[in-house]
Structure 1
Amino acid sequence: MNQLKVGILNVAYSPNLGDGLIAECLRHGLASSPAQLDPHFIDLAGRESFSQGLQSKKRLNAVRSMLPAFALGVASRLYLALLVRFRLRPFYRRKMAGLDAVILGGGNLLADQDLNFPKKIHGALMEAARLRLPVYLYGVGVSDDWSPTGRQLFLEALGACDLRFIAVRDARSATLLARALGPAQRDIVTVLDPGVFAALALPPVAQEPPPPDGVARIGVGVMSPGELQYHGLSSLEDHVLFTFYLDLLANLGARGAQVRLFTNGSPEDRAFAQRLSRAFNEGDPARAWWSDVSERIQTPTDLVNVIGGCTGIVAFRLHAIIAALACDKPFVALAWDKKVGAFLDEVQRPGALAEVSPSSAPSIVDRLLATPAAPAPLSSDACAQRSLRSVHRLAALIAPPREPHGPQEAAV
């Protein structure tokens, strides 16, 4: 029997490699299921490689920097409308040709920042509807930032396509989506983010020797103030975040830890990490206990390798935290978006969240270097197996087991 071809519709080649991590996990789960589906990525932004995603983000940032603030919104929306109509819809149509089903899956996709996801998802699902493809919504996050236009686009797209199944990644997302659907409400299932089985989909490979006995190697995940502000955290000013990171590095060094500065790949985050590196090296450029490994991380596999080589991490980015959980590493998640707390609730680790303030670095270091706490109620392995089983059930919905048609076939 031929494998069913399935399109995974998300931002697989985003410069934020956490999105690619989700896509790789979904692909692994679908292909490893008893249904053995043949999954293919369809990037919502029309990208076909990680390098392409990084270059397009840099070009977009360069254009934005040349526009006055009052023109940014109008220019962005005009550009997006033209992009979807003339490039992305033909791209979706081409990628969906010959498919048997489409999964809109993974990441905080039902969110509205300058109509980015509403426009792209609307275009993609209308193409799926035109091709009469069944659509499965799986493992997505839902935000409460929908504009009236964004809401209209999301609801029109979900109503037009042959939507067979809805699964979101946390209870908060389920509540927000149920509220948005209103009278058209459908059954909504909650599943764990597929990234929690990253260590199965992308087994980490050591990139350097382990630290000496008794020495902790702590990964510090950097997120830039510009990215935090774009995603809604306007209260954390540049100088506060910069000072926090420098204090965190100094405190870790004073406690005898090795430090690996890293990012999830965003060019803004990488640039901010370089700023931190230069500032931290000014006093002592020969510090042997720390390094910036950001440039080593070019793919989701690289991200898992770096995090898997640490004894613990502290980070803002959700999928740095999820990768740490997948690799069974202690972590402190820095508060910035409600989706982080929602995920920690799902995996029964709400105490791992920490607020960033001018004086919070020492307490975060204490938590990272403390004597190991009692095991969490839901282990990393239990999270991974639960999420993998959910993806296998999704595969079974798409390709139900075939009943034998006669004695000879039944005996095979």
Structure 2
Amino acid sequence: MNVKRVVIAAEVFSANLGDYAIYDSLKTILEQQGIEVVPLDLSLRKGWAEEGEVLVGPQGWAKVFKNGLKKISLYRSLSSRLKWYLVSKNKANEYWEQLIEKSDGVIVGGGQLLTDTNQYFPLRIGAVAEIAKRLNKPISVIGCGVGGTLTKNSFRGFKELLSNATYISLRDYTSRDKLKEYVGGDFPLHVSPDIAFGLPASRTVKLAGDKVCGLNVIPLSIFHRFVPEVRDVSESDYLLFWKRLAEGAIKSGLKLVIMTNGNPDDQAQANNVYNKLVESGIDVQLQNRPKRPSDLYRQIEQVDYLVAMRMHAGIVGCALGRKTATIAWDEKIPGVWRAVNNEDIVMRYDILKDSNPWNRILPVFESPGWPNDNKEIYQNKIHHDVSSCLKTMFE
């Protein structure tokens, strides 16, 4: 039998390992259906930073400009476009064409890829779609999110993809509604849970003993960027939030461990949180920065409960069967959890100002059925979504 080969275009080898969890789940599902999978990293990485060759990495450019300039939106957009056209485009196109030419089709997804932050993804996804069209390869979209408001410029970047996609599924209803105005009412837009929810359940059975709660940390700057209502929260306020949360967890008889998704900035913030808690006399452990998906999975498997700030830390925790609560800093987070009928586990951003944040987390952890109530239903939806996509591509 002729085995189909599919290129997955996504943020595969990101330091934020939640991105790989999406790819990992989709790859597993496709392989179960007899598909050979090839990764295409939209940020031009051929592998992990310590192992693989980086085609055109951002490090050199990042060192040229100071942080002050990078805070200016116009500068970021112009810098992104210049970097693409002057440095990255030719090398990326050459390598991507090699991958796509040897494949039977391309799937874009998942993750928050249909967004126009600094024109980053429109340029890259547009290039992938153009190559697929030129080589007469079917292309589709699975499990993507639509970020913010798409501008006319960004839509032009995505137009090749949206005009030629055999199938489009989004990971939440808000993304579907945003995209409707661009693709028109005739083309069906499907909604299916975030692909990372399809990760296989943990095979690790946590040993009896102390119950452990993981605290998944992100920098305060992310809240400041996305949530104007908490821009008055200072770094000391943020550390106080973590101290209050930790004290509540300890009163509930839990051991504590601080962890991240692997982003170096997240780990720097985690170090600050850890130091604050230790200075306050709180017994807590700090996990090393996970550098591979297996590191992230193993760290999450070692806890019973997880307070997640990175959305895909929460999704991975759910997939692995851990009691999970997540804190929203972007509209995408409640939307994604709404798609699996578990919006109740999402805490609003104003929890950062709560004098007793643990009281808002605890009811989620005490829910008897969570996280397994709807698991089989939404995992079946993901598998059905992938199967439907493949039919439009190859039948």
**TM tier, smaller:** 0.7 to 0.9
State the partner residue of 2:287. Answer: 293
SS in 2 for 1:102: strand
Cα pair 1:261 1:294 within 8 Å, conserved: no
Q: CA deviation at 1:326?
A: 0.9
Among 201, 211, 222, which residue is 1:216 paired with?
211
SS in 2 for 1:199: coil
**1:192 partnered with 2:190:** no
State the partner residue of 2:360. Answer: 364
Q: Within 2, Cα distance between the matches of 1:397 and 1:133?
A: 12
Extract unaligned runs of 5+ from structure 2: none
Q: Within 2, Cα distance between the matches of 1:375 and 1:227?
A: 28
Task: Rate the CA distance shift 1:38–1:374 in 2: closer, same or farther, 3 A.
Answer: closer
Q: CA deviation at 1:198?
A: 1.2
Q: Within 1, Cα distance between the matches of 2:271 and 2:24?
A: 28
**1:127 partnered with 2:131:** yes
Task: Rate the CA distance shift 1:58–1:242 in 2: closer, same or farther, 3 A.
Answer: farther
State the partner residue of 1:406. Answer: none
SS in 2 for 1:129: helix
Cα pair 1:315 1:333 within 8 Å, conserved: yes
Task: Rate the CA distance shift 1:268–1:190 in 2: closer, same or farther, 3 A.
Answer: same
Task: Rate the CA distance shift 1:72–1:30 in 2: closer, same or farther, 3 A.
Answer: closer
State the partner residue of 2:337. Answer: 344
Q: CA deviation at 1:194?
A: 1.6
Q: Within 2, Cα distance between the matches of 1:66 and 1:311?
A: 39
State the partner residue of 1:325. Answer: 318
Among 255, 259, 262, which residue is 1:258 paired with?
255
Q: CA deviation at 1:170?
A: 1.6
State the partner residue of 2:7. Answer: 7
State the partner residue of 2:177. Answer: 175
Q: Within 2, Cα distance between the matches of 1:327 and 1:258?
A: 19
Q: CA deviation at 1:243?
A: 2.3
Q: Within 1, Cα distance between the matches of 2:23 and 2:338?
A: 23
Task: Rate the CA distance shift 1:368–1:310 in 2: closer, same or farther, 3 A.
Answer: farther
Q: Within 2, Cα distance between the matches of 1:182 and 1:94?
A: 33
- 1:12-161 correspondence to structure 2 within 5 Å: 12-33=12-33, 36-51=34-49, 56=57, 62-66=63-67, 68=69, 69-70=71-72, 71-159=75-163
Q: CA deviation at 1:263?
A: 1.0
Could you tell me the TM-score, scaled by structure 2's length? 0.88
Cα pair 1:81 1:119 within 8 Å, conserved: no
Q: CA deviation at 1:241?
A: 2.8
Amino acid at match of 1:322: I
Task: Rate the CA distance shift 1:228–1:17 in 2: closer, same or farther, 3 A.
Answer: farther
SS in 1 for 2:273: helix
SS in 2 for 1:133: coil
SS in 1 for 2:184: helix
State the partner residue of 1:226. Answer: 221
Q: CA deviation at 1:255?
A: 2.7
SS in 2 for 1:115: helix
Q: CA deviation at 1:85?
A: 2.1
Q: CA deviation at 1:73?
A: 4.5
Cα pair 1:221 1:316 within 8 Å, conserved: yes
Q: Report the number of matched residues.
A: 383
SS in 2 for 1:322: helix
SS in 2 for 1:140: strand
Percent identical residues: 21
Q: Within 2, Cα distance between the matches of 1:376 and 1:37?
A: 30
Q: CA deviation at 1:335?
A: 1.4
- Select between 272-281 and 58-67 the one with higher mean Cα deviation: 58-67
Cα pair 1:313 1:368 within 8 Å, conserved: no
SS in 1 for 2:117: coil
State the partner residue of 2:300. Answer: 307
Q: Within 1, Cα distance between the matches of 2:35 and 2:157?
A: 30
Cα pair 2:31 2:37 within 8 Å, conserved: yes
Q: Within 2, Cα distance between the matches of 1:62 and 1:274?
A: 24
Q: CA deviation at 1:251?
A: 2.3
Q: Deviations over 1:152-199 (max 9, x none)?
A: 21124432xx3211111121111111122237x511111122211212
Cα pair 2:259 2:270 within 8 Å, conserved: yes
Q: Within 2, Cα distance between the matches of 1:352 and 1:199?
A: 21
Amino acid at match of 1:175: D
Could you tell me the TM-score, scaled by structure 1's length? 0.84
Q: Within 1, Cα distance between the matches of 2:105 and 2:38?
A: 11
Q: Within 1, Cα distance between the matches of 2:162 and 2:360?
A: 42
Give the aligned CA root-mean-square deviation in angstroms.
2.7
Task: Rate the CA distance shift 1:235–1:88 in 2: closer, same or farther, 3 A.
Answer: farther
Q: Within 2, Cα distance between the matches of 1:110 and 1:75?
A: 20
Q: CA deviation at 1:76?
A: 3.6
Task: Rate the CA distance shift 1:199–1:260 in 2: closer, same or farther, 3 A.
Answer: farther
Cα pair 2:248 2:359 within 8 Å, conserved: no
Task: Rate the CA distance shift 1:339–1:152 in 2: closer, same or farther, 3 A.
Answer: same
**1:334 partnered with 2:327:** yes
Q: Deviations over 1:356-395 (max 9, x none)?
A: 232152323433553x335679522332233223323433
Report the structure number with the largest CA radius of gyration.
Answer: 1
